[in-house]
Amino acid sequence: MTEEVFKAQLNPSNFSDFRVGWKSPSNIALVKYWGKKPVQIPANASLSFTLSESCTSTEVQFSLAEASSFDLVFEGKAKPSFHPKIQDFLDRILPYCSFLSAYHLSIETSNSFPHSSGIASSASAMAALALSICSLERELGGLQNEALFFQKASFLSRLGSGSACRSVQGPMMSWGEHPDLENSSDLYGTVFEAELQEVFKSYKDTILLVHKGQKSVSSTAGHDLMKGHIFAASRFEQAQMHLTQLKSVLQNGDLEHFIRIVESEALSLHAMMMSSHPYYILMQPNTLAILHSVMRYRQETKIPVCFTLDAGANVHLLYPESNQTEVQAFIEEELSLFCEQGAYLSDAVGKGSEKIV
């Protein structure tokens, strides 16, 4: 499939006013995307759990206008600092949504997780906005096919923030061509279709908030540093191999192997940051303290709890729902002490985005 299929030729005058809203979740990658080619094409395939609690809710009022424009309210207040990112996104998707040039968008958006929690909202935010734009396209007569609707929403989300393309549906989505993933694409995310072992359908993710502030190096800068990185080729190969292995593990329920792959992915991601030029470290001392505690606790109790990291200092603690009681006690008694003001968010694997208006 080429990008051409996503180019909409529709008549905007069919609808002068249209209001729609979508709630989209964040996602946590088990096999990480780190490194890309222009424009937002991943250097390797990735696979993530879609979350259920950490979400962005976005409502958009589309009104016919002389030229494309937008205003934005975030949690009840104007937020000019978000404008450049939204403007870039709208400019980038215009070739695929030319009808947008005839609309003013009034965007109202809010997150379910606290602002400045150190949780990136770009994935959930871009997915909710892309879905809202696809809903308008559907009202105008396009995207009548359900599969194409979600493909395009994921395609547009990707142009806003790469990993956002995995926030459209659940419970797991892959992104990036991979020989073992049927229908996988570099252009959009695809629901992971193999039958998941029961244990993974309700997997828990407790996000331990080690550092609530902005990270010192953005993901965009990090992806860029993979260009010419001395270990880049091996890293991309490793990710492809991990995905092949993870596909089997997700079907056979081998939690020991699951843990080995997931923790290795997290540490490899940070190893890439620490070995780039310039090098940098996003883990904090308390991140490392948590990783050591998790490994020790797992060894002592045999409870299959493991960690993963995104591009920041916070730790995602992953474990089966059946171990929730013991792990909750471990978090309260030990891990929360390493969190900023003891803060953590309780999340779990989710179903994907939901239409709210």
Shortest reach from residue 175's CB to ligand PMV, in Å: 8
Out of 24, 46, 111, 276, the residue judged to bind ligand PMV by CB under 6 A? 46
| Distance from C-alpha of 108 to C-alpha of 100, rounded to nearest angstrom | 17
Instruction: Determine, following the binding rule CB under 6 A, whether residue 344 of this chain makes contact with ligand PMV.
Output: no
| Distance from C-alpha of 44 to C-alpha of 269, rounded to nearest angstrom | 13
Instruction: Determine, following the binding rule CB under 6 A, whether residue 311 of this chain makes contact with ligand PMV.
Output: yes
Q: H or E stretch including 327?
A: helix 324-333
Instruction: Determine, following the binding rule CB under 6 A, whether residue 32 of this chain makes contact with ligand PMV.
Output: yes
Q: Which stretch binds ligand PMV (CB under 6 A): 3-11, 31-39, 75-83, 94-102?
A: 31-39
Q: What is the identity of the amino acid at 3?
A: E
Rg (alpha carbons) of the chain, rounded to whole number: 20
Q: Which stretch binds ligand PMV (CB under 6 A): 8-16, 29-37, 149-157, 326-334?
A: 29-37
Instruction: Determine, following the binding rule CB under 6 A, whether residue 310 of this chain makes contact with ligand PMV.
Output: yes
Which residues have C-beta within 8 Å of that of residue 53, sequence separation ≥ 6? 25, 112, 113, 345, 346, 347, 348, 350
Instruction: Determine, following the binding rule CB under 6 A, whether residue 162 of this chain makes contact with ligand PMV.
Output: yes
| Distance from C-alpha of 122 to C-alpha of 108, rounded to nearest angstrom | 15
Instruction: Sketch the per residue contact string, 228 through 267, with ligand PMV: x for CB under 6 A, - otherwise.
Output: ----------------------------------------
156: helix, coil or strand? helix
Binding residues with ligand PMV: total (CB under 6 A) = 14
Q: Which stretch binds ligand PMV (CB under 6 A): 139-147, 159-167, 258-266, 349-357?
A: 159-167
Instruction: Determine, following the binding rule CB under 6 A, whether residue 219 of this chain makes contact with ligand PMV.
Output: yes
Q: Is 45 within 8 Å of 163 (Cβ atoms)?
A: no
Cβ closest to ligand PMV, residue 57 vs residue 308: 308
Out of 10, 29, 72, 273, the residue judged to bind ligand PMV by CB under 6 A? 29
Token pair recorded at residue 227: 């260009």
Token pair recorded at residue 254: 């081998």
Tell which residue, 59, 72, 70, has the closest CA to residue 22: 59
Per CB under 6 A, residues contacting ligand PMV are 29, 32-34, 46, 122, 161-163, 219, 223, 269, 310-311
